[in-house]
Amino acid sequence: VTTTSIDVITWSDHADKSLTLRILNLTWPWTWKLNPLLLHNTALTKTISTDITDYFELKTDPEAISPITLWTAHKAVIRGKLISLATQSNNIILSYPLSDKTDSFL
């Protein structure tokens, strides 16, 4: 454990807690970034749009969940789905024979 902290209480009587871990031999920071080319895939865009709509329809009980918690959880869920869909897309591309890949670039 590198650092821990309890953040400021903003909307409810709950505060975010942070914990930073140092994993063996990993010294570089890694952040996931959305590949903008994924947004050109209409099937993927429709899937994410449907997932966002479904998420907010299922989780919009204002009595039970604060707006900040709802938004933070939504970002984590959609990020996970985007990572999953990007991985599936990359696996499909990598499964093509090498000759198909080189022909498409010529």
What are phi and psi for residue 35, nearest 5 degrees?
A: -75, 115
Range of the domain at 80: 31-105
Answer with the residue of higher pLDDT: 91 or 24: 91
In a domain, 9, yes or no: no
Q: Is the CA virtual torsion 24, 28, 33, 38 positive or negative?
A: negative
User: Total domain count for the chain?
Assistant: 1
Running DSSP on this structure, what letter comes out for residue 15? -
In a domain, 91, yes or no: yes
Predicted confidence at residue 49, as pLDDT, reads 93
What percent of the chain shows pLDDT beyond 90? 10
